[in-house]
Amino acid sequence: MPAEHAIAGAPAAESDEQIVAALRAGDERTFRELFARSYPMMKRVARAYVASDAVAEEIVQDTWMAIVTGIERFEGRSALGTWMFSILTNQAKTHSARERRALPFSSVAPAGIEQPAVDPDRFQKDDEAWPGHWATPPRPWQKPERRLLSLEARDRLRQALAELPDRQRLIVGLRDVDGHSSEEVCDLLGISQENQRVLLHRGRSRLRAILDEYLEGSDA
Amino acid sequence: MHKSGLPHDGHSAGEIDPSDEVTCQQLVELVTDYVEGALQPRTMNHVEEHLVVCDFCVTYVEQMRATIATLKGLEKHGSPEPPASALAALQARRAAGA
C-alpha cells in the first residue's frame, strides 16, 4: 500500500516521528507541507550567512535535498527541526567560506561593548547635575499609530531592516517580523538566550533610532 | 560600576547594583530585557520605579514598543516550488516501497 494513504488525513500538527516516517516512505504531501512551513525561516537564516538572496535560496534548496537523502540517517536524538537547521548551517558555512565571509555566530560580543543603544552624548555626564539622565530626551512621536501604518514608513523600516548587520537582521527578522519565540530561535540556531537578546537589543535600538529620524526629522 | 555608565558585568546584562537606582542611560540598554521579561526581579523593580517618575524614558519605551509592533508582519513570505531533485528522491522512495 502506498505510504501516502497511511498518512492521508493525518492531523496538521504531526509529530517528528510521523513526519520522519512519511519522508522515509517518500510522502510528497508531508514533504511539501514541511517545506512550506520551514522555508521562510530557513531562507532568513541562510541569508545571514551570504551576500545575496539568490545564494541563500540555493543553500536552502541544497539543504532540502540533503534532508531528503539523509532522512534515513536521522536518529531522533535531537528534534527534527534542530537536525534540519544544523544541515542548513553546515551548507551555509560552506557557501560563505567560498565567499570568504565571516561566520555570523562565530563571536558575539558581550552586552555593552559594542555601539550603545543611544548616543552617550544624549545623557548627562559624571560632572553634570544628574549623571546618566537624559540631556537631550527623546521627543514623543506625533500620531505614531497612524503614521507608522503608512506605506512610506513601512518601506523605510523595511529598508532599515535590510541594512542591519547580518546577525541583527536575522534575529530581529525571526523574532519581531516572523514572530518566532526566543526558545525556538535559540534552539534552532544553537545560540544562548542572552546572545539572542543582545542581537535583538542592538537591532531594535538601531531601528527605533531610524524610525525616530524618519518621523521627527533628526537623529535621536 | 559608575552611576552614569553601562552595566559592565558581562554575564548579567540584566542586573545592576541593587543599591543604585537605574539611570536613563542604563534603562535604554535594559529595555530589551525589560520588554522580553528577562530582567532579575530587583532590576525589574528599579526599571519600573524609574518609569513611574521619568516621562522621557516612558516615551523611549513606547517608541521601542511601536517599533516592534511595526516590524510585525513587515515582510510577507511565500515559498517557492521545492527542488525537483528532492521531489524525485521522494518519488524513488515511493517506487521502492510500493
Cell of A12: 496538521
pLDDT in tens, A38-51: 999 999 999 988 88
Cell of A103: 561566520
Mean pLDDT of A102-110: 51
A219 within 8 A of A213, measured Cβ to Cβ: yes
Specify the DSSP class assigned to residue A2.
Answer: -
Cell of A162: 535590510
Q: What 3-state class would DSSP assign to A134?
A: strand
Residue A133 forms contact with B (CB below 8 Å): yes
Q: Quick one: pLDDT at residue B90?
A: 93
Closest alpha carbon within chain A to B98:
A2
pLDDT in tens, A49-73: 888 889 999 999 999 999 999 999 9
Of B11, B59, B67, the CB nearest to A204: B67
Angle at A28 between CA A26 and CA A29, to 5 degrees: 135
* Contacts B97 to A, Cβ<8 Å: 2-3, 25-26
- How much is the pTM? 0.81
Q: What are phi and psi of B54, to 5 degrees?
A: -120, 100
Q: Which amino acid is at B96?
A: A
Closest by alpha carbon to B62, among A203, A210, A212? Answer: A212
Residue A124: pLDDT over 90: yes
Residue A70 forms contact with B (CB below 8 Å): no
Asked if this assembly's ipTM is beyond 0.95, the reply is no
Largest CA distance in chain A: 81
A196 within 8 A of A186, measured Cβ to Cβ: yes
Interface of B with A in 11-30 (CB under 8 A): 11, 13, 23-26, 28-29
Which residues, other chains included, contact B85 with Cβ-Cβ below 8 Å and sequence gap of 6+? A65
Mean pLDDT of A130-155: 91
A197 and B71 within 8 Å at the Cβ level: the answer is: no
Q: Quick one: pLDDT at residue A13?
A: 65
Mean of all residue pLDDT scores within chain A? 86
Mutate to test the interface with A, among B47, B70, B81, B94 (most CBs of A within 10 A): B70
Q: What 3-state class would DSSP assign to A13?
A: coil
pLDDT in tens, A151-193: 999 999 999 999 999 999 999 999 999 999 999 999 888 899 9
Residue A100: pLDDT over 70: no
Which of the listed ranges A110-114, A183-187, B15-19 does the model predict with the highest average pLDDT?
Answer: A183-187
- Give CA separation, B76 vs A164, A180, A184, B79, in Å: 18, 14, 20, 10
Q: Quick one: pLDDT at residue A14?
A: 81
Residue A111: pLDDT over 80: no
Q: B12 falls in which pLDDT band (50, 70, 90)?
A: very low
Which structural domains are found in chain A, ordered by start? Answer: 12-99 (1.10.1740.10), 120-216 (1.10.10.10)
B46 within 8 A of A124, measured Cβ to Cβ: no
Residue A101: pLDDT over 70: no
Q: Quick one: pLDDT at residue B92?
A: 93
Of residues A25 and B11, which shows the higher confidence score?
A25
Q: What are phi and psi of A114, to 5 degrees?
A: -85, -165
